[in-house]
Amino acid sequence: MIILQEILADSKKHYQEVRKKILKNLSSLPQGSVKKRKISKRIYYYLQQRVGSKIIHKYLGKEEPEELIKELKLRKSLKAELKKVDEALKVIQKVQGKKYG
């Protein structure tokens, strides 16, 4: 039983470190999504973000912002990974008989 407790403690520590790294990376990445609008046969790109209860659009230009799109995709994948890590931490806490949070 002691071995199982050690394994759970190591796993918990690992997932907590991974969670901390993910949160650090998320804080440095932009939020929102890139939207394109066609106005008078021309395409314009905007960054759409939620600020409080409002949605704002920031003009990005006429060319597709490829680097920003890559960063937003990375953010989305990191958020999905964070969700899995949080689920793993909940399972570990449940097995250890403690509440997660």
In the block, tokens 């008989």 appear at 97
* Mean pLDDT, residues 42-48 taken together: 96
The per-residue pLDDT for range 57-87, each reduced to its tens digit, is 999 999 999 999 999 999 999 999 999 999 9
Judged against a pLDDT cut of 90, whether residue 97 lies above it is answered with no
Q: Give buried/exposed letters for 7-38 (b at 16+ CB in 10 A, else e).
A: eeeeebeebeebbeebeeeeeeeeebebeeee
For the stretch 72-76, contacts whose Cβ atoms lie closer than 8 Å and that sit 24 or more positions apart, written own/partner, are 72/29, 72/30, 72/32, 72/33, 72/34, 74/25, 74/29, 75/26, 75/29, 75/30, 75/31
Q: Quick one: pLDDT band at residue 39, thresholds 50, 70, 90?
A: very high
Domain boundaries, the chain: 2-96
Average pLDDT, integer, range 2-30:
92
> In this predicted structure, what is the pLDDT of residue 1?
67
